[in-house]
């Protein structure tokens, strides 16, 4: 999943949110470069996601959460003009799965929303989490809080729902753009990572294992 290929396929002007970047010279930046080098070298994704010897798990996870946030933003941004209140009045992953939004502020109870509204709230929420220094500390030596991994699990499970919606409701658009292989690679990277560190309950992954044949083949190629 080399960046030059992604740039050719995806229009960076359509990125749903500005990219969160790592500060050069920081440990997180070096880890990010190490992770990207493994991907660009064509390393087996199962190996690429493994924690490098001597590195801190929380730092490794934090780097990947930010990276997945950026990549999923990019993927959704490419199809967002076709994901409207009219075309997607419910945030779903096929007829069996509906995703309702809940947060600590306006939506205290799970609330049915359109897909674009759900995506907007989701990306705002994730952006707030990863920019929160108390949750994602950037200073070397600052410990991660006890709620870091539980919050990461919630972030990643919600990002997975974007993959579900895009694959099941906008797959034709992805294929039409010729970006199927690259989106698949993004998803496989995500899938291997969350499985490697048990960051998403396997039951959460069911929408893409029981969907259309193309999605089932995608998952079967991951296991």
Per-chain mean pLDDT for the chain: 81
Range of the domain at 176: 3-83+122-220
Q: Is residue 127 part of a domain?
A: yes
Find the CATH number of the domain harbouring 145: 1.20.140.30
Band of residue 117 on the pLDDT scale cut at 50, 70, 90: very high
Q: Is residue 104 part of a domain?
A: no
Q: Is residue 37 part of a domain?
A: yes
Residue-wise pLDDT tens digits, 155-173: 999 999 999 999 999 999 9
Residue 46, pLDDT above cutoff 60: yes
Residue 174, pLDDT above cutoff 70: yes
Residue 11, pLDDT above cutoff 50: no
Residues at the binding site are 83, 88, 165, 170
Interval 136-161 mean pLDDT: 92
Distance (Å) of CA 18 to CA 2, 13, 74, 207: 20, 10, 10, 29
> What per-residue confidence (pLDDT) applies to 29?
57
Dihedral sign for Cα atoms in the order 204, 15, 29, 39: positive
Query: Is residue 194 within 8 Å of residue 156, measured between CB atoms?
Result: yes
Q: Is residue 115 part of a domain?
A: no
- Dihedral, CA of residue 152, residue 51, residue 69 and residue 59, to nearest 10: 60
Q: Is residue 135 part of a domain?
A: yes
> What per-residue confidence (pLDDT) applies to 1?
39
Residues at the binding site for Zn(2+) are 83, 88, 165, 170
Q: Is residue 7 part of a domain?
A: yes
Q: How many distinct structural domains can be found in the chain?
A: 1
In a 10 Å sphere around its CB, with 0-12 CB exposed, 13-18 middle and 19+ buried, how is residue 145 labelled?
middle
In a 10 Å sphere around its CB, with 0-12 CB exposed, 13-18 middle and 19+ buried, how is residue 119 labelled?
buried
| 50 three-state secondary structure | coil
Residue 121, pLDDT above cutoff 70: yes
Residue 8, pLDDT above cutoff 80: no
Q: Is residue 184 part of a domain?
A: yes
* pTM of model > 0.85: no
Residue-wise pLDDT tens digits, 177-196: 888 888 888 899 999 999 99
Least confident of 131-135, 178-182, 216-220: 216-220
Interval 97-111 mean pLDDT: 93
Residue 12, pLDDT above cutoff 60: no
> What per-residue confidence (pLDDT) applies to 91?
97
Query: Is residue 194 within 8 Å of residue 200, measured between CB atoms?
Result: yes
Q: Is residue 90 part of a domain?
A: no
Residue 104, pLDDT above cutoff 90: no
């Amino acid at each position: 999943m080399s960046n030059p290929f992604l740039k050719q396929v995806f229009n960076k002007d359509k990125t749903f949110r500005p990219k969160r970047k790592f500060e050069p010279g920081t440990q997180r930046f070096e880890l990010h470069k190490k992770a990207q080098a493994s991907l660009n070298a064509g390393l087996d994704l199962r190996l690429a996601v493994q924690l490098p010897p001597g590195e801190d798990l929380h730092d490794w996870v934090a780097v990947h959460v930010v990276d997945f946030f950026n990549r999923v933003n990019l993927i959704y941004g490419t199809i967002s003009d076709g994901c409207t209140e009219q075309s997607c009045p419910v945030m779903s992953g096929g007829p069996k799965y509906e995703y309702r939004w809940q947060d600590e502020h306006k939506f205290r109870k799970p609330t049915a929303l359109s897909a674009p509204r759900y995506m907007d709230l989701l990306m705002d929420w994730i952006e707030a989490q990863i920019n929160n220094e108390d949750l994602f500390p950037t200073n070397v030596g600052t410990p991660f809080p006890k709620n870091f991994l539980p919050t990461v699990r919630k972030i990643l499970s919600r990002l997975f729902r974007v993959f579900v919606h895009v694959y099941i409701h906008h797959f034709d658009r992805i294929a039409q753009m010729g970006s199927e292989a690259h989106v698949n690679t993004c998803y496989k990277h995500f899938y291997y990572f969350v499985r490697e560190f048990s960051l998403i309950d396997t039951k959460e992954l069911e929408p893409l294992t029981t969907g259309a044949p193309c999605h089932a083949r995608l998952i079967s190629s991951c296991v």
